[in-house]
Amino acid sequence: MKNIAVFGSTGSIGRQALEVAAAQHDRINITVLAAHSNDRLIEEQIRHFKPDLAVLTDMEAAGRLITRYKGDTRILAGEDGLLEAAGHERTDMVLAAMVGFSGLKPVLAALDKGRDIALANKETLVAAGSLIMPRLQVRGVRLVPVDSEHSAIFQALNGERRATVSKILLTASGGPFRGKQKNELATVTLSDCLKHPSWSMGQKITIDSSTLANKGLEVIEAHWLFGVSYDNIKVVVHPESVIHSMVEYVDGSIIAQLGLPDMRLPIQYAFSYPERWEADFARADFIKLGKFTFEEPDVSVFPALALAFAAGKAGGTMPCVYNGANEQAVLDFIDGKISYLDIPLAIEYALARHNLVAEPELADIMTADATARELAREFADAKTGRIYL
């Protein structure tokens, strides 16, 4: 029996992880549930899975839950509650499925307590890969990626020596605007962004997928996870979303991991690794699929991808700024303060004004994130006429 804490339990990944846990109930025990503010849904999850602890980081939502719930699960509140839950003694693995930069501190706390990590929160490695990766070695814990692309690479590397890797081929669906020209995106709405052709995901990651910022974050994550230079990471648009990523080796061989787009598969693999558990996920029928297509990403239309490569190569606090500025720009787009095409411009604005710290400590990363958000807000204020660039 594997004891698992699900951080981000009310989000898309968290809900699918609990589907896996329910299907594999003889193998998985849920010890902790954690979310931000959805007290009604987490209460349902508590009653079903009966964890030792549950956390809501929003204090008002936690107060509502504490007032209502009269059971054996202990309810914690706020960031302090989340950090306490990260080191819960009965937990073997923490699924980090929180949205954005908020995942960093609980992942660090879980690592420091010796807990294995199933990482769905790519922003943690983007912002602080230089802190996370050495800590894995020191603590002797395992990190298994949950993103479908990184899970695919992880599986394609199984049994191979990292020194024989020539290139990482990171696939991308292309999102809802694949093939569009920039002038066609000038009036894109939030509703347009959320119509992803392949995956059912949360709002923020779906918007990021449409701008290719999500793929940019995945490039930086792949660099840290697999120790591959940015020059040896190539993004390939594959709209069928069946080949989840590939690894090319020095002899020219390419190993790929394939499967229908279903996040439950990489979630279960992260939970079961190094084993594989039987499951009833849908299987790919290659006769019905017929063909695979591949395209070069158009960074002139989707510059967020090129900005991610530039930030990653700059190193230090630059990837953190990329992530923080993007998170704020997405919020400003949702709020109607900037247009869709302004999202990468806000990222570029923040990157251009950041004073890089080459070897950051945690305090430097926290400052870089806060500064990036402030710069992105400054950009939004300029767009709405409150300041001048």
Shortest CA distance to 207 belongs to which of 318, 334, 38, 324? Answer: 334
Q: 93-96 and 243-249 as β-strands: parallel, antiparallel, unpaired?
A: unpaired
Last residue of a domain, one of 116, 145, 174: 145
Q: Copy the structure tokens of residue 137.
A: 């070695």
Asked if pLDDT for residue 143 goes beyond 50, the answer is yes
Evaluate whether residue 109 is within a structural domain.
yes
Are 189 and 230 in a shared domain? yes
Report the chain's mean pLDDT, rounded to a whole number: 94
Are 176 and 283 in a shared domain? yes
Are 188 and 260 in a shared domain? yes
Number of structural domains found in the chain: 3
Are 45 and 103 in a shared domain? yes
List alpha helices for 115-202, DSSP H.
Answer: 122-139, 148-156, 190-193
Q: In the predicted model, what is the mean pLDDT of residues 290-306?
A: 95
Last residue of a domain, one of 82, 111, 145: 145
CA distance 354 to 308: 15
What domain range includes position 88? 2-145
The dihedral through the CA atoms of 134, 136, 140, 146 has a sign that is negative
Are 26 and 72 in a shared domain? yes
Are 9 and 138 in a shared domain? yes
Sequence-distant (≥ 6) Cβ neighbours of residue 83 within 8 angstroms: 105, 106, 109
Are 353 and 270 in a shared domain? no
In this predicted model, what pLDDT tens digit does every residue of 170-221 receive, in sequence order? 999 988 889 899 999 999 888 888 876 665 667 888 899 999 999 999 999 9
Are 7 and 127 in a shared domain? yes
Q: Which own/partner pairs from 271-277 qualify as long-range (CB within 8 Å, at least 24 positions apart)?
A: 271/2, 271/4, 271/17, 271/20, 271/21, 271/24, 271/27, 271/28, 271/93, 271/95, 271/118, 272/27, 273/142, 273/144, 277/24, 277/27
Q: In the predicted model, what is the mean pLDDT of residues 263-290?
A: 95
In this predicted model, what pLDDT tens digit does every residue of 20-35 receive, in sequence order? 999 999 999 999 999 9
Are 125 and 164 in a shared domain? no
Task: List phi, psi (to 5°) of 117.
Answer: -120, 130
pTM equals 0.93
Give residue 388's pLDDT. 42
CATH code assigned at 373? 1.10.1740.10
pLDDT grade for 387, boundaries at 50, 70 and 90: very low
Are 204 and 218 in a shared domain? yes
Are 137 and 157 in a shared domain? no
